[in-house]
Amino acid sequence: MKNREIKNFTDPIKDELKQFEKFFSDQMRSRVGLVELIVRYILRQKGKKIRPALVLLSAKTIGDVNEHTYRGAVLVEMLHTATLVHDDVVDNSDTRRGLPSINAIWKNRIAVLMGDYLLARGLQIAVDNNEFEFLKVITNTVKRMSEGELLQIQKIRKLNNDEETYLKIISDKTASLFSTCTTIGAMSITNEQNVIDDFRNFGELLGIAFQIKDDILDFEGTSSIMGKPTGNDLREKKLTLPIIYALKQAEKNEVKSIKNLIRGKLSNKDLNSIFEFVAKYDGINYANNRAKEYASKAIDIISKYRDSESKQALIDLVNFIISRKN
């Protein structure tokens, strides 16, 4: 997401984000020298803070941001940071946000342990402050994210993903964390279950639209919001919605030919052949329409709440996610 759009999205909570960043930094600290060194390195990696911003915006759409809200935002960001550290180990990634990854500098063993530390620290903050409702949400999210990742690995091995399974994977891997943000934001303000459910569903739908669009950009953009090069999913043997739809439309012999290409070591020529195949069967348009469907449902949910800058920022974020070009 470009800086201009990020700034617009976070304008209604710019003061709250400053407060969050101080709280987050304070809660990350450790008396262990190596942990403190890596924490300082992580804090240098200026992320977009989309997830804590979602916590704060969801809360502010309903009421006034409070101490519970800040703790919830910290929990979410610690969980997210832990998963990024672990993901870089799993994916053997050398960079993160333009800097060398934790595993590239300190190797896999320390990276895994650092991810564990961040997750445990987040859970400890919840327990120490009796935020047990937050804890229930977070632990379910960790379970879902792990299941989604394992299901994706299973489908990569068999190369037999379908749309239903794809949606299950992205719901668990990506949308679960978006949903956690909006759920915790709502829970920090109200006990009304219908409101909490609305914001949980809003986050889930937003997360699904986000990931579908990100997967589309892997076919047609120079790079996606997550910093991946075009064709990266195919190189990793991941079947995402554009190609899943195209494979469903094609004849058996063509499907076999495309899958054989994906199973091999993909050259640029191979990638172009696959891109042409997806275009031939309208895979990009289909996936774009599906992303818009989820986005529209998300906006319908949030639209019934009182008008405010925070509510409009959430709607603007949905619209930006489905219209972005990189």
**Domain limits, the chain:** 3-323
Q: Which of 303, 320, 317, 319 is nearest to 57 (CA)?
A: 317
The mean predicted confidence, pLDDT, of the chain is 90
Check pLDDT > 90 for residue 97: no
pLDDT > 90: percent of the chain:
72
Show the tokens assigned to 91.
């994916």
Yes or no: say if 99 and 45 are a contact pair by the CB < 8 Å rule.
yes
Which residue bears the tokens 């896999």?
108
Q: What is the pLDDT of residue 228?
A: 46
Residue length of the chain: 326
Checking if the pLDDT of 222 tops 70, the result is no
Check residues 5 and 259 and name the one with the higher pLDDT: 259
Say what the pLDDT of residue 301 is.
97
In one letter, which amino acid is 38? I
pLDDT (0 to 100) of residue 143? 95
Beta bridge partners of 100: 95
pLDDT of residue 256: 94
Q: What is the pLDDT of residue 254?
A: 96
Neighbours of 162 (CB within 10 A): 14
Q: Please state, in angstroms and rounded to a whole number, the distance separating the CA atoms of residues 181 and 73.
A: 7
Structure-model confidence comparison of residues 7 and 280, the more confident one: 280
The helix or strand, by DSSP H or E, that contains position 295, with its residue range, turns out to be helix 283-303
Tell me: pLDDT of 226 over 50: no
Mean pLDDT of 247-271: 93
Which of 69, 74, 113, 111 is closest to 89 using CA atoms? Answer: 111
pLDDT at 92: 82
Q: Which stretch of 6-15, 199-208, 297-306, 309-318 has the lowest confidence by average pLDDT?
A: 6-15
Banded pLDDT at 3 (limits 50, 70, 90) = very low
Supply the CATH classification number for the domain 3-323: 1.10.600.10
Whole-number Å distance between alpha carbons of 133 and 184: 9
Q: Beta strand 95-96 with 99-100: parallel, antiparallel or unpaired?
A: antiparallel
- Both tokens of residue 239? 């079947």
Question: In this predicted structure, what is the pLDDT of residue 29?
Answer: 84
Overall average pLDDT of the 20-39 stretch:
90
- Give every CB contact of residue 140 below 8 A, 6+ residues apart in sequence: 176
Any idea what the Cα angle at residue 163 is, between residues 238 and 171, rounded to 5°? Answer: 80
pLDDT tops 90 at residue 227? no
Q: Largest Cα–Cα distance of the chain, in whole Å?
A: 61
* pLDDT of 2 above 50: no
* Residue 5: predicted pLDDT: 53
- Per-residue pLDDT tens digits for 43-94: 887 667 889 999 999 999 999 999 999 999 999 999 989 998 998 888 788 8
Name the nearest CA neighbour of 209 among 285, 319, 301, 51. Answer: 319
**Per-residue CA distances from 311 to 63, 210, 298 (Å):** 11, 18, 12
Say how far apart CA 183 and CA 134 lie, in whole Å: 9
Q: Which of 5-9, 13-17, 137-141, 200-204 has the lowest mean pLDDT?
A: 5-9
Lookup: tokens for 255: 């499907």
Range scoring the smallest mean pLDDT among 24-28, 112-116, 272-276: 24-28
